[in-house]
Amino acid sequence: MTELILQSLYSGLLVGGAYALIALGLALVFGTMKIINLAHGELVLLAAYVAYTAESQFGLNPLASIPFALVIVCASAVLVYLLVSRIRVNRELNSLILTFGLGIILTNAVLIVWSANIRSTSSAWLQDAVVLGPLFSMRSEVVFFVLSLALAGGLWWWLSRSWYGRAVRAVSSNRDAAKLMGIDPVRTELVSFVVAGVLASVAGVAIYSSSVIQPALGHALTIKAFIITVLAGIGSMPGVLLGAVLLGVTESLTVTLASSALQELAGMVLFLLVLFVMPNGLFGGARRRG
């Protein structure tokens, strides 16, 4: 039983890497524009289907399909931003409605192009077992977990050291003050959408390489990313990483100790429990009240 629980914790940790990439993209856009992109999960799903097409039609390893996914998903993210940026009245509410509609459109486009069949990778290299003592996993899970950590570190460096990263933080903190400092908010918001598209591209290929995909998955991924963002506390990158791992471990333990039918419910229970105990999230600071 102990080994079974350790294996479950290990599997949840690896799954949390992909969840973290999805949630970081959603949190980045929310930080700069104060909107939740409800089409974000569908962008991740689009990357997964690009990887499937590259493998099934051209025989490419899913890892080799990442550049193609980057181009298609980032272009789609730019299109989403151009539509959202045209909203001038009730931006938060109207952008939610708009991105929800865009998510439905993307889901139906996936259905039309790729049908409703379940897809998964056929790469023997990615499906090979990696054994670490009593723990085992697929090679794809380990590869993309390491890649997720590298991208998270790169994102932290970009936000803290680069000019555009600092501009994103400035716009997130105070849009008007950032304009007075010579920062173009529109360009900065566009950059944040593109970076979110990069993270979504890698996350989509990771999900395709280590599990199965189908058109309805996009909406579920958006919900998971939203749960992780709230668990973390707004504006906390370490919190996003911890929240992603916590969600992955919770789902994995639920499947192991109870039933796979309760996996999604366990995530929602965790979400409500953290909100009840810590309303500002795991790393969210309390707001000052004046």
Please report, for the chain, how many H helices and E strands are present, in that order: 12, 2
Assigned token pair, 199: 């993270």
List the structure tokens of 188: 């900065």
- H/E element holding 129? strand 129-132
* Cα–Cα distance measured from residue 264 to residue 9, given in angstroms and rounded to the nearest whole number: 17
pLDDT at 6 exceeding the cut of 70:
yes
What is the model's pLDDT at position 137? 93
Lowest-pLDDT range of 9-13, 73-77, 178-182, 192-196: 178-182
Give the number of other CB atoms < 10 A from CB of residue 212: 12
pLDDT score at 272: 87
At residue 31, the pLDDT reads 82
170-175: long-range contacts, CB 8 A cutoff, minimum separation 24: 171/32, 172/31, 172/32, 172/235
- In this structure, what token pair is assigned to residue 121? 């990778």
pLDDT over threshold 50, residue 289: no
Region 1-19 average pLDDT = 92
pLDDT tens-digit profile of 249-266?
999 999 988 888 888 899
DSSP state of 62: G
| Percent share of the chain, pLDDT over 70 | 97
Element (H, E) at 137: strand 135-138
Beta bridge partners of 131: 136
* Choice between 32 and 66, residue whose per-residue pLDDT is larger: 66
> Please, which pLDDT band fits residue 134 given cuts at 50, 70 and 90?
confident
What is the per-residue pLDDT for 69?
96
Q: Which domains does the chain have, with CATH numbers?
A: 2-277 (1.10.3470)
Cα separation, 45 vs 118, in Å, equals: 12
Start-to-end C-alpha separation, the chain: 53
CA geometry: angle 18, 224, 251, nearest 5 deg:
75
Nearest to residue 228, comparing CAs of 287, 172, 268? 268
